[in-house]
Amino acid sequence: MATDKTFFLETFGCQMNAHDSEKVVGTLEHEGYRRVETEDAADLILYNTCSIRDKAEQKVFNRLNDYKKLYKQGKRFAVLGCVAQQEGEKIFERAPYVSIVAGSASYRKLPEMLVQLEAGQKRITGLDDRQTDETFETEFTARTNPYRGYITIIEGCDKFCAYCVVPYTRGKERSRTSTSVLNEARRMADSGYTEIQLLGQNVNSYLDPEGKQSFAELLAAVGQVPGIRRVRFMTSHPRHFTREIVEAIEAFPTLCDHVHLPVQSGSSDVLRRMNREYTREQYLERISWIQAAKRPISLTTDIIVGFPGETLADFEQTSDLLTKVGFDAVFAFKFSPRPNTPAITMDDSIPDGEKSSRLQALLDQQRETQRAIYNRQIGSILEVMVEGHNPQKGQIMGRSSQNKTVNFTNSQLILPAPGSYVNVLVTQGFPNSLVGEAVTLQ
């Protein structure tokens, strides 16, 4: 490889993957690599992959196929993350120009993998240990956002939902000590970060190895770190969602008033087949705790449409649940069987056209719900964290504590910097965003 070693990294999937990529970037840069913006300019091309959805997985292999011609120019490829852990050495057979296949538990071993790569080794794997605790913050994490940072507090999953590959790709649940989480939060605050997002496949399943703090207590503690103005967390599992989490959000204004609580289906029968370990009624009980909070908390969720055996009556129960709850946003997808999961053996007899029809009906319903919810914000004043500017529209882009996108104008000549906080009077509402103008509070 060239003396000036360069790399290109593309990330597929969730915020966990995005944060994993920060760990990879930091490690590569520490090993003397320089990041570039295109595959053509790179010596090493890495794809950090997701296997939750079929299309996300296929996109990786399509990308590999698109750029395999670069292998003849001496470039090398690495497949990281969930697809790497799921497919293992089969990736070498499907894409023989790939040199590294490594799961998320092996990123600390990247330096030695790079040594092997530079020595001319053709097939290097890092797939041996999904149980390690060495998957949290790496020594050289390169945080790409200067004001919003992620902290992984729990890795893996013990739930074994019938449709999900995560337990097979990221291993068992293992939590980081509360002491190390708080130390990381303090270091981030000292470095100028004002927003922290706590991450985990099931973040509220957190069990402090030191036995000091519950998840709700850890949330509160991070929210009290001097300099931190916002704390978010993703993703919660309904089975482990407690009243104490709501009470913490009520008690500490730094904890953002937003909860993402994936329901997946409004039918208890479907939830049982999914092995979600809660019923429709238990889920709605948790929603009632959130909706009874002393300050409004926005609610978002995930839905799988067309899970094997989902009847029209089951689907109508999901539609009814959306009506009852009034979610601020819904992320809905058609069921697609994933390798190694129990659902792959189930009778997936619902025609794709029917799945598409049900999905579209839910999305249309949710769009009208969101239109009403967002319109109710008109006339309110929200604190918005600035994320960027859109010169073409003359707008500043940001996000509220409830995780709503806010586009606004500012009469001041100086544009507020990304990461700063601005009070915005909401003047318009759309199904996916709010529009307003900056105001100065007296």
What CATH number does residue 399 fall under? Answer: 2.40.50.230
Residue 133 included in any domain: no
Which CATH number is 103's domain given? Answer: 3.40.50.12160
Are 362 and 397 within one domain? no
Are 297 and 366 within one domain? yes
Residue 140 included in any domain: no
Which 8-state DSSP code applies to residue 264?
A: B
Residue 142 included in any domain: no
Are 371 and 390 within one domain? no
What is the number of structural domains in the chain?
3
Residue 143 included in any domain: no
Of 336, 359, 375, the one marking the end of a domain is 375
Which CATH number is 253's domain given? Answer: 3.80.30.20
Are 22 and 107 within one domain? yes
Are 224 and 290 within one domain? yes
| Alpha carbons 340 and 319: distance in angstroms, whole number | 30
Residue 302 included in any domain: yes
Are 157 and 299 within one domain? yes
User: Domain limits at 40?
Assistant: 6-126
Residue 197 included in any domain: yes
Instruction: Note whether 253 and 402 are within 8 A (CB).
Output: no
* pLDDT tens-place values along the chain, 442 residues long: 445 899 999 988 777 778 888 888 888 988 899 999 999 999 999 999 877 666 667 788 888 888 888 888 889 999 998 888 888 888 898 888 899 998 877 777 888 898 899 888 889 988 755 454 454 555 567 677 889 999 999 988 999 999 998 888 778 899 999 999 999 999 999 999 999 999 998 999 999 999 999 999 999 999 999 999 999 999 999 999 999 999 999 999 999 999 999 999 999 999 999 999 999 999 999 999 999 999 999 999 999 999 999 999 999 999 999 999 999 999 999 998 888 899 999 999 999 999 999 999 999 999 999 999 999 999 999 999 999 999 888 899 999 999 999 999 998 878 899 999 999 999 999 999 999 999 998 6
Of 375, 392, 413, the one marking the end of a domain is 375
Task: Please list, residue by residue across 325-343, b when 16 or more beta carbons sit within 10 angstroms of its beta carbon and e when fewer do.
Answer: bebbbbebbbbbebeebbb
Beta strands 34-35; 230-234: pairing state: unpaired
Residue 177 included in any domain: yes
Which 8-state DSSP code applies to residue 316?
A: H
Are 196 and 312 within one domain? yes
Residue 138 included in any domain: no
Are 334 and 245 within one domain? yes
Of 375, 402, 419, the one marking the end of a domain is 375
Q: Which amino acid is at 351?
A: P
Length of the chain: 442
Are 305 and 339 within one domain? yes
